[in-house]
Structure 1
């Protein structure tokens, strides 16, 4: 989930389903998560118009799709753990892979992801990690543990929590030494207590982009953040740092999926295929600072040796993917609802 970029065309969210022609592609994506030159390149090649709407909260995105938004868009970019949920509800298509020949460009680990075996319903777009971003000139101690959020005695300054439920609850679970996919009721009860207390002491919740901007601007000392957002902020201010806490964190992917009620599915397939071209994949990663799933793009990626984007093996060993919890997700939703209400 995840995402900062100055050069992005933002289009206000649609309030009604407009008439859409064969020459228009509508994409629903995370905020600040696709470079302008990539969009323009597709528009010029295909002689079409790309309309991009954005979101910061996956729960709000799901609600919009369920309220009729699934007829407005052709393509959605979503977190890995949501693919199964959308597939079971029939919101996204089972892909016709004959229309995506560039699937062959995906690295093996991304061609057959655990959350969507054999890429049946989705295609990996980008990957990254979730950790802590901070201003080293504003913190009062080391930032190397989730304890800076959850242990008042180890607080190092003002902090922001993340609006994304699974990621923020995952941070609390890792602090407790548990898997980010734990559904044990007793453990989740402890998570609820940690988050309610952290919320009380924090500056509140923020989306990934906003959280990093708040740290960059000095309005918060620490925030839960996505790696690419942090990477871009670090380029602006050398005092901004990013760390995967000692307890570990999440490694995630965001994936492209075609909506079942897409007004222009054929164009959506063409766009997916376009994004898998090595040159285009490199443009995406260079523009937004996340990891590419296309190995042939790596030689063209400026930050291919940067550990924030491509962490070393010893760090990756501490990372987990967020699993599709199926009906067990209700337990997370209940905890989160109570945390947000308190």
Structure 2
């Protein structure tokens, strides 16, 4: 009997092996991805942005990241000189995709081969740019940059200490008329620009004698005991807000934000002698590792609703016509953000200085080193 049962036992064994193998293969297939399963989501791309401090709403950042499956990595700088140093340092232009910079510095960076021409086909919202920010005197046809925000240089002060402060640069530059302590803005073109306006010169002069005269004025001002040195615009505004200094030369938007929070104690003036108008722009670096995403970011900023949100956050003027229409009337009609009337005729746009920039650099180095 034992030998007669052997073929049946062998057959049963083989059948068991087959079934185990089939079950094992089925388990493997069920554990792994099925043919119809959706592919894993792509990891987010990273966009590197070089920008001034406190210059973009975090909600705008989050919305861009969400819509474009991206992560925005920001590097902060406090002055144009620092920005140029970061961008020009041994291949650093390949570490950044987009840079927010002063328009007057843009032609110099183009000449140095640090910025690339923009592909307008990837920026359909460029149509929203106000015409005056795309003309020959700015960046003819927005070849290398589009405007981000614009503003002027003003004086924030303690209104409780000086309720009747005269709206003049005398309170900074004329020793007998200096009512209290102050700090100067740590930005070459802005600080030399207002000193030139005070002296009755163009803030874009290329005459060495006028530039040096403005430099001499700033050196004398710096040496006055009431001058507590140089600070970036954001820091200077906070100094006045915190009470460690009475007045400061600042960018109007930074100051407008804190003045709005404490109108009883703080005030802001654009001096009657005039001031400068600066325009900050968006540009793509020459070796941007994510050029396509960089163009998408620029186009995103130029959306009407995003441009309006940006200006509401920064308290600076929007160069975007479509965005201006979405701003509340109290923003559009604020003369400290959008200067009007006689004072607007005394404001001068920064221009590219060409070779004359060397004289400005020399004057600024002499001011800061003494």
Same fold flag (TM > 0.5)? yes
2:116 alignment counterpart: 93
Summarize deviations over 1:140-197 as a string: whole Å, max 9, x none: 8623111111110110110001110010001110110000011222222221221111
Counterpart of 2:129 in structure 1 is 106
Report the counterpart of residue 63 of structure 2 in structure 1.
Answer: 41
Aligned length: 322
Instruction: Give me the whole-angstrom Cα distance separating, in 2, the residues matched to 1:71 and 1:61.
Output: 14
Q: Are 1:146 and 1:247, in contact at CA under 8 Å, matched by a contact in 2?
A: yes
Please give the alpha-carbon distance, in whole angstroms, between the structure 2 residues aligned to 1:300 and 1:216.
30
Once residues 306 and 138 of structure 2 are traced to their aligned partners in structure 1, the CA distance between those partners, rounded to angstroms, is: 25
Establish whether residue 300 from structure 1 lines up as the match of residue 323 from structure 2: no
1:335 maps to 363
Rg larger for? 2
Distance 1:203 1:141 in 2: 23
Q: Retained in 2: the 8 A contact 1:139–1:222?
A: no
Corresponding residue of 2:9: none
8 A contact 1:140–1:157 mirrored in 2: no
* CA RMSD between the two structures: 1.4
Secondary structure in 2 matching 1:320: strand
TM-superposition CA deviations, 1:8-28 (whole Å, max 9, x none): xxxxxxxxxxxxx97110000
With the length of structure 2 as denominator, give the TM-score of the two structures.
0.84
Aligned to 1:256: 282
Cα shift at 1:69:
2.3
Alignment deviations for residues 239-273 of structure 1 (CA, whole Å, 9 cap, x no partner): 21111111100111100000001110110000000
| Corresponding residue to 1:244 among 257, 262, 270 | 270
Task: Give 1:326's aligned residue.
Answer: 354
In structure 2, how many angstroms separate the alpha carbons of the residues matched to 1:228 and 1:293? 14
Q: Distance in 2 between matches of 1:114 and 1:183?
A: 16
Kindly indicate whether residue 334 of structure 2 is the aligned counterpart of residue 312 of structure 1: no
Higher mean alpha-carbon deviation, 316-325 vs 298-307, is at 298-307
Label 1:115 to 1:311 Cα distance change in 2 as closer, same or farther (>3 A). same
Matches within 5 A, 1:267-286: 267-286=293-312
- Runs of 4+ displaced beyond 3 Å: none
Measured after TM superposition, the shift of residue 133 of structure 1 is 1.2
Q: Do 2:44 and 2:71's aligned partners in 1 also have CA atoms closer than 8 Å?
A: no
- Say whether the 8 Å CA contact 1:133–1:225 is kept in structure 2: yes
Matches of 2:346 and 2:110, distance apart in 1:
29
Superposed counterparts of 1:192-207, under 5 Å: 192-201=215-224, 202-207=227-232
Structure 1, 28-37 or 214-223: larger mean CA deviation? 214-223
Deviations 1:110-147 (A, max 9, x none): 23261311111100011111111111123386231111
Q: Encode CA deviations 1:34-68: one digit per residue, 9 max, x unaligned.
A: 00011111000011101111111110110111113
Distance of 1:113 and 1:229 partners within structure 2: 29
CA–CA distance in structure 2, aligned partners of residues 198 and 212 of structure 1: 19
Match of 1:24 in 2: 46
TM value normalised by structure 1: 0.91
- Greater shift after overlay, 297-306 or 115-124? 297-306
Q: Which residue number in structure 2 is paired with residue 209 of structure 1?
A: 234
Q: Find the counterpart in structure 1 of residue 27 from structure 2.
A: none
Aligned-partner SS, 1:168:
helix
Is residue 84–residue 115 contact of structure 1 (8 Å, CA) maintained in 2? no
Give unpaired runs (5+ residues) of structure 1.
1-20
How far apart, in 2, do the equivalents of 1:185 and 1:296 lie?
41
**Pairing 1:24-173 to 2, within 5 Å after superposition:** 24-67=46-89, 68-112=91-135, 114-139=137-162, 142-173=165-196
Structure number with the higher helix fraction is: 2
Counterpart for residue 243 of structure 2:
218
Matched residue, 2:39: none
Contact 2:270/2:336 (<8 A) preserved:
no
- What SS does the aligned partner of 2:147 have? strand
Match for residue 206 of structure 2?
183
